[in-house]
Copies of this chain bind each other. A is one copy, B any other.
Amino acid sequence: MPPLDYDDHKVSREADIGAPPCRNCDVVREIAFCAELSHDEIKRLATVRCHAHLPASFTVFREGDPADHVYSIAAGAVKLYKLLSDGRRQIIGFLFSGEMFGLGLDNGYAYTAETVTQTQLCRFTHRKLDSLLGDIPKLERKMFSMTVKDLIAAQEQMLLLGRKTAREKVATFLLKLSSRAEMQGLPASPIALPMSRADIADYLGLTIETVSRTFTQLKRDGIIGLPASGYVLLTDDKALRELAEGGGG
């Protein structure tokens, strides 16, 4: 599908129209990088912010584009991926509300960002945000610690990609989604899989077929249930945990 232009969508400069910052998402405020800021600081942050509602499968930016914005997810889900010249794809992360992306070096974005579901983003101009960082130490501190968290998650994913079997990869993936849901105050067990099998495969370094086969295999073994498309039931949490750590067969 042809990528829609970002500006074709409702991008409102809320600071200009006096809307409350980071509206409709108290949970996000706790997690996102605008967390822990005073009312005044949030106000100043808002002066460099745009809000955007985007449909599913919308390309926010592409690998190599000039990296002039940083994004924070207010609601929805985003995937980040890198491509090889022949089309092979590696999804390097699924991001959800409260998470941040778009930090890059001078060579532009290191990955493509695309919405998974309908998504609400906060967009910050990199240059303007930079100038604020000096003034609001807490902000830089928060962004720093979020980046460290991302790095550690990336290292965890390297272990998965390099050393785990298909079964272990899927188990780890399901557990991560489950604990994420729990952190958001959602139930840990019937977890939602908003992404396609192809996305899961490209995230785990597998093929669609292997992901599908592994799901049915785990179901046959009574470890998970597949109540409806897009949902997974974690029937045997303990077995799943053992699998994920390389313990169980």
A134, A149, A152 — most chain B CB neighbours (10 Å): A152
Q: Which of A74-114 contact B (CB under 8 A)?
A: 80, 82, 84-86, 88-90, 92, 103-105, 110-111
A84 B150 Cβ-Cβ under 8 A: no
Cβ contacts A115-144/B at 8 Å (1 or 0 each): 000000000000000000110010011011
A171 contacts the other chain (Cβ, under 8 Å)? no
Q: How far is the CA of A137 from the CA of B138 in the complex (A)?
A: 12
Q: Does A193 contact B (CB under 8 A)?
A: no
Which of the residues B85, B140, B155 comes within 8 Å of A245, measured between beta carbons?
A: B85
The answer to whether residues A144 and B151 also contact, given A84-B245, A89-B163 and a CB cut-off of 8 A, is no
Which chain B positions have C-beta within 8 A of A154?
151, 154-155, 158
> What chain B residues lie within 8 Å of A86 (beta carbons)?
246-247
Q: Is the CB of A151 within 8 A of B147?
A: yes
* Besides A137-B137, A154-B154, A154-B158, 11 new A-B residue pairs in contact (Cβ under 8 A), listed by A number: A84-B163, A86-B246, A88-B246, A90-B158, A104-B148, A104-B152, A110-B152, A133-B141, A140-B140, A147-B151, A161-B161
Q: Quote the shortest CB–CB distance from A113 to chain B (angstroms).
A: 12
Which residues of B have CB within 8 Å of A246?
A: 84-86, 88
Contacts of A211 in B (CB 8 A): none
A164 at interface, CB cutoff 8 A = yes
Say if the beta carbon of A183 comes within 8 Å of chain B.
no
Instruction: Assess A155 versus B111: contact at CB under 8 Å? Given A84-B163, A161-B162, A163-B88.
Output: yes
A110 contact set on B, CB distance < 8 A? 152, 155-156
